[in-house]
Amino acid sequence: MTQDAAFDLGKVGYAGAMAAAEGWATLLNKGKQYPYEEVEAAFHDYAARANMNDWPHWCDIFTEECLYVDHHFGVFRTRAEIAKWMVPLMSRQSEMRFVPGWHAIKGNLVMNYNWNRWPNPEGSRVPYGEFRNPGPVDDYKYQFPCMTLNIYGGNGKFCYEEDLYSAPAYVETLKRWQQAMGLAK
């Protein structure tokens, strides 16, 4: 998130809502319908990449031309734009993991309810890096939920993502985790 005075969360949110409407109208039923197994395999690759802390590799899960809508950070229309935003953002919070809670697939659409999570300072019962079998949600103090919507575009890549989460919950959770870890400025 930019810190300058020109950053207006209302304008970013409005642009995100309009881009999402455009994406749903043009991308969901566009082109080929892919086999369920192919979409499922791409989702598992997506989740694995999101937990490797290799964000350039994660960004390669998108088609060259795509639409990524984050209602807090903005709208990105190419894989290169996603990488330009995501790689520096995640380099500042490399401990964050993305733990799928559940997902559903309908045609080329993947709906993924996930937890954006930082490690407990004192540890947890399940190894922190284990995203496939993470243990009970209430084992973790520093997390917030997110609904991620993806449209599969073929060749193991997605052409659309929309992240639906509470931006204030993200900011507050990160702040509390940084305080607990003695990292707060």
pTM for the structure as a whole? 0.85
Query: pLDDT for 71-117, tens place per residue?
Result: 889 999 999 999 999 999 999 888 888 988 899 999 999 999 999 98
Residue 173 inside a domain? The answer is yes
CATH number of the domain that 35 lies in? 3.10.450.50
Instruction: Report in angstroms the alpha-carbon separations of 130 from 21, 42, 51, 106.
Output: 35, 19, 9, 27
Q: Where are the beta strands (DSSP E) in 19-175?
A: 62-70, 74-78, 97-106, 109-117, 143-154, 157-164
Residue 185 inside a domain? The answer is no
Query: pLDDT for 44-67, tens place per residue?
Result: 999 999 989 899 999 999 999 999
pLDDT band of residue 29 (cuts 50, 70, 90) is low
Residue 77 inside a domain? The answer is yes
Residue 38 inside a domain? The answer is yes
DSSP state of 71: T
Average the pLDDT over 148-153 and give the result: 95
pLDDT given at position 125: 61
Residue 4 inside a domain? The answer is no
DSSP element (H, E) containing 157: strand 157-164
Full residue range of the structural domain in which residue 52 is found = 9-180
Residue 35 inside a domain? The answer is yes
List the beta bridge partners of residue 89.
none
Q: What's the number of domains the chain is made of?
A: 1
pLDDT band of residue 154 (cuts 50, 70, 90) is very high
pLDDT given at position 5: 41
Is the pLDDT confidence value at 37 over 90?
yes
Residue 2 inside a domain? The answer is no
